[in-house]
Amino acid sequence: MLAETLAAIRPADPRALAEARAHQDRLTKPRGSLGALEEVAIRLAGAAGASPPPMPEPAALAIFAADHGVHARGVTPWPQEVTVQMVANFLSGGAVANAFAAQAGVQVTVVDVGVATDLAEVPGLMVHKIAYGTEDLSRGPAMTVDQAVRALEAGIVVARDLVAGGARCLITGDMGIANTTASAALISVFTGKDPAEVTGRGTGIDDATYNSKVDIVRESLRVNGLAGFPGTAPPPSEALRALAAVGGFEHAAIAGFILYGAAARVPVILDGVIAGAAALVAAALDPAVTDHCVAGHRSAEPGHSAALVHLGLRPLVDLELRLGEGTGGLLAHPMVCAAVRVMHDVATFDSAGVTEKPV
Ligand SMILES: Cc1cc2ncn([C@H]3O[C@H](COP(=O)(O)O)[C@@H](O)[C@H]3O)c2cc1C
Ligand SMILES: O=C(O)c1cccnc1
Q: How much is the pLDDT for 358?
A: 73
| Cβ(173)–Cβ(325) below 8 Å | yes
pLDDT per residue as tens digits for the range 132-166 = 999 999 999 999 999 999 999 999 999 999 999 99
128 C-beta neighbours (distance < 10 Å), count? 19
State the closest ligand 2 atom to the C-alpha of 328, by its place in the atom list counted from 1: 3
* Average pLDDT of the segment spanning 198-221: 98
* Average pLDDT of the segment spanning 200-210: 97
* Average pLDDT of the segment spanning 38-47: 98
Q: Quick one: DSSP state of residue 125?
A: E
- For residue 62, pLDDT over 90 is answered with yes
* Average pLDDT of the segment spanning 28-54: 98
Confidence tier at 357 by pLDDT (50, 70, 90): confident
Confidence tier at 359 by pLDDT (50, 70, 90): low
- For residue 184, pLDDT over 70 is answered with yes
Q: Is the CB of 323 under 6 A from ligand 1?
A: yes
Provide the annotated active-site residues. Answer: 325
* Average pLDDT of the segment spanning 195-199: 97
Q: How much is the pLDDT for 230?
A: 57
What ipTM goes with this model?
0.99
- What phi and psi values does residue 224 have, to the nearest 5 degrees? -95, 10
- For residue 219, pLDDT over 60 is answered with yes
In angstroms, what is the span from residue 105 Cα to ligand 1's centroid? Answer: 23
| Cβ(244)–Cβ(235) below 8 Å | no
Residues in the ligand 2 pocket, defined by CB under 6 Å? 180, 202-203, 271-274, 299, 301, 304, 322-324
Pick from 182, 173, 202: nearest CA to 111: 173
* Average pLDDT of the segment spanning 213-235: 85
| Cβ(152)–Cβ(2) below 8 Å | yes
Q: How much is the pLDDT for 12?
A: 98
Whole-number Å distance between alpha carbons of 173 and 329: 8
Q: How much is the pLDDT for 228?
A: 66
Mean pLDDT for the chain overall: 97
Q: Is the CB of 325 under 6 A from ligand 1?
A: yes
State the closest ligand 1 atom to the C-alpha of 181, by its place in the atom list counted from 1: 14
Q: How much is the pLDDT for 14?
A: 98
Nearest protein Cα to ligand 2, atom 9: 324
H or E segment to which residue 233 belongs = none
145 C-beta neighbours (distance < 10 Å), count? 13
DSSP string covering 298-332: --SSHHHHHHHHHHT---SB-S-----TTHHHHHH
* Average pLDDT of the segment spanning 94-106: 98
Confidence tier at 232 by pLDDT (50, 70, 90): low
Q: How much is the pLDDT for 227?
A: 81
Site to probe by mutation for ligand 2, drawn from 86, 203, 297, 318 as the one with most ligand atoms within 8 Å of Cβ, is 203
* Average pLDDT of the segment spanning 35-56: 98
135: buried, middle or exposed (CB in 10 Å: 19+, 13-18, 0-12)? middle
State the closest ligand 2 atom to the C-alpha of 272, by its place in the atom list counted from 1: 3
State the closest ligand 2 atom to the C-alpha of 271, by its place in the atom list counted from 1: 3
Whole-number Å distance between alpha carbons of 114 and 247: 12
Q: How much is the pLDDT for 246?
A: 98
In angstroms, what is the span from residue 323 Cα to ligand 1's centroid? Answer: 6
| Cβ(259)–Cβ(9) below 8 Å | yes
Whole-number Å distance between alpha carbons of 244 and 263: 23
25: buried, middle or exposed (CB in 10 Å: 19+, 13-18, 0-12)? middle
- For residue 229, pLDDT over 70 is answered with no
* Average pLDDT of the segment spanning 248-271: 98
| Cβ(297)–Cβ(331) below 8 Å | yes
Q: How much is the pLDDT for 237?
A: 73
The DSSP bridge partners found for residue 295 are 270
In angstroms, what is the span from residue 221 Cα to ligand 1's centroid? Answer: 23
pLDDT per residue as tens digits for the range 326-343 = 999 999 999 999 999 999
Q: How much is the pLDDT for 288?
A: 98
In angstroms, what is the span from residue 115 Cα to ligand 2's centroid? Answer: 18
Whole-number Å distance between alpha carbons of 112 and 41: 33
- For residue 321, pLDDT over 90 is answered with yes
